[in-house]
Amino acid sequence: MKQIYISLLIFITFNYNNAFAQAPILDSTVAVVVGQIAQINIINNALSIPSGNPGPAQTYDYSVLPSFNSSYEILGIDNLTSPFGTTYPNANATVSWSSFGNPYYHFQLTDTSYTYLGGGGSFGDYEYIDAYDQLRFPFTYNDTYTDSYLAISNIGGYRSGTVTLNAEGYGTLLVPNQTFNDVLRVKRASSYYDTINGNPRFTEETYYEYYKPGIPHYILLHGFYTITTGTSNPVSGSQLFYNSSTIVSNTNADLQKETNYSISQNGNQWSLNAKNNSKDFSSILNIYNLQGQLLMQDNLNFTKEIASKNLQHQHLANGLYLIQFINAKGKLVSLKWNKVN
């Protein structure tokens, strides 16, 4: 009887846990489009960070990370504002990167695919003669596909290879200061030949990418690579990329539906504004960077007559920040502030 009871308990526990773990279905909302920003923080040496396991109802723990070595922004722009825009007239999800060479990358986004067409920067550009499906939709647990690609560079180089994507796991993703439920893990395994400074190079890469529908770009990417240049010995390593723009995309739906407050710019002045404010209230106003560090505190006092607050920003560099305060109903309000002067 005791053995039967234990077996039944294990069965119930297993099914209870899995009843609340869902395999999400990726769609086009995971692509960066015009006006959206992804703030990417990079760890150059991520070999010692555990990457977790495939399978259902997993917990992927990246809650404690070492210091980031660098960062860059990905900004969705109008394709016509790209210097390569006319080369890719069908691109409708073009992005600019603030990283080395200030590159522009051009994608064609549809309900069924997110296809990389090509792009580049001051270091040269690659045009894909055989385009590369970055993602296909809908895409969910156990879905897989393989795609080949071929690109030619304007400086005489080439890139030719294959990639296999497999939605191999789903569950909960833990990142610094935040938890994401119902996240899909995509394994991207690629091998390709190209040239670098005229030398032939062979690269093998395995990326573990974590996506959640409605959040542009991946939340986190943990990548491993081996590069062989010419007859040199292979060089291996690992990098981690964390999309800290998702800091306001948590499981509290009230934060996502907040429409009574906005941030506006008038010349060099930025303001926090309340719409239809009907009650006086006071709060502490906190401003954080996207690593969760508190940068500034101020007093916020809104009345029915005065519902605007100038933000002291002169000492803040351009970039993304998080503003938080408690509103008149006692609820936490979080707003993402893209400061550009």
**Angle CA(214)–CA(165)–CA(23) in degrees, nearest 5?**
45
What pLDDT score does 13 carry?
39
- What's the confidence (pLDDT) of residue 6? 40
Tokens 């109802």 sit on residue:
57
Residues 72 and 190 reside in one and the same domain: yes
- Asked if residue 20 is part of any domain, the answer here is no
Mean pLDDT, rounded, for 288-292: 67
User: Residues 163-181, buried b or exposed e (16+ Cβ, 10 A)?
Assistant: bebbbbbbbebbbeebebe
Mean pLDDT on 229-251: 82
185-189, 244-248, 287-291, 325-329: range with highest mean pLDDT: 185-189
Domain boundary among 224, 248, 272: 248
Task: Give a yes or no: residue 238 inside a domain.
Answer: yes
- The stretch 207-219 carries a mean pLDDT of 95
Please give the tally of structural domains in the chain: 2
Q: What is the CATH number of the domain that holds 270?
A: 2.60.40.3080
Which residues lie below 8 Å from residue 283, measured CB to CB, with a gap of 6+?
A: 299, 300, 325, 326, 327
Is 78 inside a domain boundary? yes
Whether 146 and 295 map to the same domain: the answer is no
Cα 88 off chain centre by: 24
For residue 186, pLDDT over 80 is answered with: yes
In a domain, 212, yes or no: yes
Which is higher by pLDDT, 224 or 73?
Answer: 224
> Quick one: pLDDT at residue 291?
59
Give the helix ranges, DSSP H, for the chain: 2-19, 253-256
The tokens describing 315, both together, are: 């000492």
Instruction: Count the neighbouring beta carbons within 10 Å of the beta carbon of residue 199.
Output: 12
Q: Is residue 290 part of a domain?
A: yes
Residues 162 and 311 both lie in one domain: no
The residues that bridge with 218 in the sheet, in sequence order, are none
Q: Which strand (E) or helix (H) includes residue 130?
A: strand 124-136
pLDDT in tens, 121-175: 988 889 999 999 999 999 999 999 999 999 998 888 899 999 999 999 999 999 9
Q: Which of 228, 248, 268 is the last residue of a domain?
A: 248
Regarding whether 157 and 41 lie in a shared domain, the answer is yes
**Among the ranges given (2-11, 31-40, 186-195, 296-305), the one the predictor scored with the smallest mean pLDDT:** 2-11
Size (the chain), residues:
341
- Do 258 and 109 lie in one domain? The reply is no
Question: To the nearest whole number, what is the mean pLDDT of the chain?
Answer: 86
Task: Return the pLDDT at 58.
Answer: 95
Where does a domain end: 189, 218, 248? 248
* Confidence at residue 163, expressed as pLDDT on a 0 to 100 scale: 98
* Higher pLDDT, residue 139 or 75: 139
Same domain, 155 and 279: no
- Segments forming the whole domain that contains residue 292: 253-339
Q: Look at residue 211 and tell me if it is in a domain.
A: yes
Range with lowest mean pLDDT among 10-19, 40-49, 246-255, 303-312? 10-19
pLDDT at 9: 38
Q: What is the model's pLDDT at position 187?
A: 98
1 pLDDT band, cuts 50/70/90, is: very low
Give the containing element (helix H, strand E) for 208.
strand 199-211
- 1-5, 230-234, 300-304, range with the lowest pLDDT: 1-5
Is a pLDDT exceeding 60 seen at residue 14? no
